[in-house]
Chains A and B, each alone.
Chain A
Amino acid sequence: MAGTVYGLLDCKNVNASGVLDAGEQYVAIYTFMSGHPNWTLIARQGDGTYGGTTNNNFFVVRSNAQGYYMLVQVSNSLVQNFGEAPGNPGLLQGLATSAGGLGFQFAWGDDGAGGNGNPWAGTGVLGSSVKGSPVWVVPPGGSKLMVWPRSNSANILNTGNFSTLKQDCMGYIVQSVASHFTSMWADDDSFMLCRSVDGGVGYRVQLFGSFTPSPGLVYRKPLAGLLTSTGNLPFLAAQQYGTLNGVAVNNGGIASMDGSMVLYARVARLTTTYSATYQPNKRTTPNSHDLFPMHVYAHENIWQGNGGHFTFPAYECFNAVGPEISTDGLRAIFPGIATQATTKLVMPWKSGLAKPGTNTTKEGVSL
């Protein structure tokens, strides 16, 4: 982890409309990230405010510390597909869906000799920015470019829509339910978003950022992303995060060691420790749950092997009740299903704020 963790917690959307709620979530993300002191707003299409016109609006921010870029785009109309103007070219999970959805891309390029390390190919002034085609390019003077999700990297199946235009986003369709709760965090290195899709225990997560390589491993740029798009938590150990065509229940990817492409990612866990026998930890009085960093590794064809653990202070625990907050109120537990004896995520929380799923405003609470 690096730097202070900022957050916007428990933003509540109550439109019972996936299209409208997607717009509200987009505005909340924009408000949060454009105001983060250690990220810089690079581009924006639209005004980024509630009630504004948000059809295929997007914005781009840069992690100043890590030098990678994040694009967020919204499709907010039943009559316009994701990726149409002004958000073109663009796909959401490999598709030009017409439903209300949010897409994310992350890109990094090396600065090389005298380069600026900027892979964003878009142009225009803030508010009227347009994408380039392709959306991301190797920075001037550089030689490497990585774009998440995995589908934007070269592969043998498809080099037209995906790897050439670098247009595919990882993300999700916002369902039409009575209430959504969305929380997001960012430190200097990482961005994380967690959302309830049912107003209850069904949380889904996107995490992107740096990881600490395991001893002996040398990564050019240790970045990885995991997204549960249409599947609830927990991240699944046997699940591949990232596909060649972008259509995925779970999406993401991990940097190759040399920084040249994005590979399928998987998560790994301790085995015996993640059990009701060992959790909560009987060593503590009262018993408390151990917190474990999330471990990610590459799992693709001939490129397979260990990566490391995410630096962002989001941890896993096992056999805890959720959603819930810690005794000191500084952490919150996010479940995926109601069963207690499962893996859950533990994220920073604001002392004094009730447990996730209880706030009443779409603006959320700042951390």
Chain B
Amino acid sequence: MGTDESDVMAPANALALVSANVDFTPWLNDGADADSLTDGFQGAFDTLNVWRGSPQAGTSGRIQKVSAHSLAPLL
């Protein structure tokens, strides 16, 4: 897979949106509301991003967090 720093969802862009010491991984691939008929923002969990450079809260690994679909109850 190629280098992809220019991708709008690249880690540097996600990092720029949060304060220091905030665990921001995983993050959504876009800001679209996946279900406009439901109150509030409904994230689209079909694609998530993971980065080693994010601070880490808890003991679960960064990749493991998403590999059990534990963050995607709507799927």
Co-complex (A, B):
no
* A contact residues vs B (CB 8 Å cutoff): none
